[in-house]
């Protein structure tokens, strides 16, 4: 799998999947050298925590070529451009995962900034080749705890997508992150409500003591 480009979640996802043992993660960046540097940094972090995982780093296009699942971990406003930049490297049957959330912040707090396409995941689906399945997932995992392998996670994450096989693949990948439970939220048309959860978490963190980096569980 590849985790492309450089949002704060890229490191956490890479570390958690590599520490889990069974996944080979290729880190992508717009610049191959920076991708390689990030990979070295992540390997050092794994080593510090007693894991001997291997992380490869390269440019986004090469990362996307190598992977069957591409997690496009970039800010929402870079998502379409990033997807288009790797589109030729994606094969039929590849899965593109969108964890991005469009937000705007004002004095009241964080707000979901719904794109005209209906959701950020729908935006990714528009930018991706037709034969690639887009799945929305992994939006609501706070970057701080995610990247810190000493922190035990206990979070649910929601998965939306139109292609059942692709959704199953991503559910399984999310399930491989220790302490993360994937739940299905239906087709891509339901992505907006999933993406809206992230600004809500930010507002809850801001207005309640002890809820910094909060996650959510359904029961």
Binding site for a second copy (CB under 8 A): 106, 108-112, 154, 158, 183-187, 189-190, 192-194, 196-197, 199-201, 203-204, 206-208, 211, 214-219
Report the 10 Å Cβ neighbour count for 44: 11
The least CB distance from residue 189 to a second copy, in Å, is 4
Smallest distance, a second copy to C-beta of residue 188, A: 8
How near is the Cβ of 54 to a second copy at its closest, in Å?
A: 33
To a second copy, the closest distance from the beta carbon of 90 in angstroms equals: 25
- Nearer to a second copy by Cβ, of 24 and 203: the residue is 203
Pairing between β-strand 109-112 and β-strand 103-106 as defined by DSSP bridges:
antiparallel
Which single residue is written with the structure tokens 């971990």? 73
List the one residue out of 2, 4, 8, 99 whose CA is nearest residue 60.
4
* CB-nearer residue toward a second copy: 30 or 111: 111
212 vs 134: CA distance, rounded Å: 30
Phi and psi of 2, rounded to 5°? -120, 145
- The nearer residue to a second copy, 20 or 187, going by C-beta atoms, is 187
Do the Cβ atoms of 42 and 11 come closer than 8 Å? yes
Q: Compare residues 54 and 183 and give the one whose CB is closer to a second copy.
A: 183
Of 109, 143, 206, residue with least CA distance to 16: 143
């Amino acid at each position: 799998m590849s985790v492309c480009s450089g949002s704060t979640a890229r490191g956490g996802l890479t570390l958690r999947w590599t520490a889990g043992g069974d996944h080979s993660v290729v880190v992508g960046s717009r610049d191959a050298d920076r991708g390689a540097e990030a990979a070295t940094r992540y390997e050092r972090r794994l080593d510090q925590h007693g894991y001997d995982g291997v992380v490869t780093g390269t440019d986004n296009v090469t990362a996307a070529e190598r992977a069957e699942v591409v997690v496009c971990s970039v800010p929402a406003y870079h998502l379409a451009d990033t997807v288009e930049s790797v589109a030729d490297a994606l094969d039929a049957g590849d899965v593109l995962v969108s964890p991005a959330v469009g937000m705007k912040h004002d004095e009241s707090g964080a707000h979901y900034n719904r794109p005209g396409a209906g959701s950020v995941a729908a935006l990714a689906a528009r930018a991706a080749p037709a034969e690639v399945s887009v799945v929305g997932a992994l939006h609501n995992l706070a970057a701080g705890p995610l990247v810190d392998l000493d922190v035990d996670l206990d979070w649910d994450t929601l998965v939306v997508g139109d292609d059942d096989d692709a959704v199953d693949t991503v559910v399984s990948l999310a399930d491989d992150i220790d302490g993360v439970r994937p739940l299905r939220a239906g087709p891509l048309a339901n992505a907006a409500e999933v993406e809206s959860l992230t600004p809500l978490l930010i507002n809850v963190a801001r207005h309640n003591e002890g809820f910094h980096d909060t996650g959510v569980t359904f029961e």
